[in-house]
Amino acid sequence: MRIEVLPDAAAIGRRAADLVAAELGSGGLHALGVATGSSPSPLYLSLCERTLPGWQDVQVFALDEYVGLGSGHPQSYRSVIDREVAGPLGIPAEQVHVPDGDATDLVAACSSYERVLAEQGGVDVQILGIGVTGHIGFNEPGSCFASRTREVRLTEQTRTDNARFFATVDDVPRSALTQGIATIAQARRHVLVARGAHKAAAVRAALEGEVTTACPASALQRFPDVTVLLDPAAASGLVRHRVQV
Ligand code: F6R
- Interval between CA 141 and ligand 1 midpoint (Å): 14
157 Cβ contact partners less than 8 Å away, ≥ 6 residues apart: 131, 132, 133
- Please state the atom number of ligand 1 nearest to the C-alpha of residue 128: 10
Question: Across the chain, what does the average pLDDT equal?
Answer: 97
Q: What pLDDT is attached to residue 34? A: 98
- Interval between CA 129 and ligand 1 midpoint (Å): 5
- Please state the atom number of ligand 1 nearest to the C-alpha of residue 129: 10
- Strand order across the 59-62 sheet: 2-5, 226-230, 189-194, 125-128, 31-34, 59-62, 96-97
Q: What pLDDT is attached to residue 244? A: 56
Distance, in Å, from the CA atom of 179 to the CA atom of 31, rounded to the nearest integer, reads 15
**pLDDT greater than 80 at residue 149:** yes
Relative to beta strand 2-5, strand 226-230 is parallel
**Percent of the chain, pLDDT > 70?**
98
- Please state the atom number of ligand 1 nearest to the C-alpha of residue 162: 15
Distance, in Å, from the CA atom of 147 to the CA atom of 64, rounded to the nearest integer, reads 14
Q: Which of 187, 188, 192 is nearest to 15 (CA)?
A: 192
Q: What pLDDT is attached to residue 240? A: 87
**pLDDT greater than 90 at residue 245:** no
Q: What pLDDT is attached to residue 87? A: 97
- Ligand 1: does its nearest atom lie under 6 Å from the Cβ of 35? yes
- Ligand 1: does its nearest atom lie under 6 Å from the Cβ of 64? yes
Tell me: the pLDDT tens digits for 195-235? 999 999 999 999 999 999 999 999 999 999 999 999 999 99
What region, left, alpha or beta, does residue 32 occupy, with left being phi > 0 and alpha being psi -120 to 50 degrees? beta
Pocket of ligand 1, candidates 138, 158, 191, 199: which has the most ligand atoms within 8 Å of its Cβ, to mutate? 138
Tell me: the pLDDT tens digits for 20-67? 999 999 999 999 999 999 999 999 999 999 989 999 999 999 999 999
Average pLDDT over residues 79-92: 98
- Interval between CA 116 and ligand 1 midpoint (Å): 23
- Ligand 1: does its nearest atom lie under 6 Å from the Cβ of 129? yes
Angle, CA of 210, 216 and 221, to the nearest 5°? 55
Average pLDDT over residues 94-113: 98
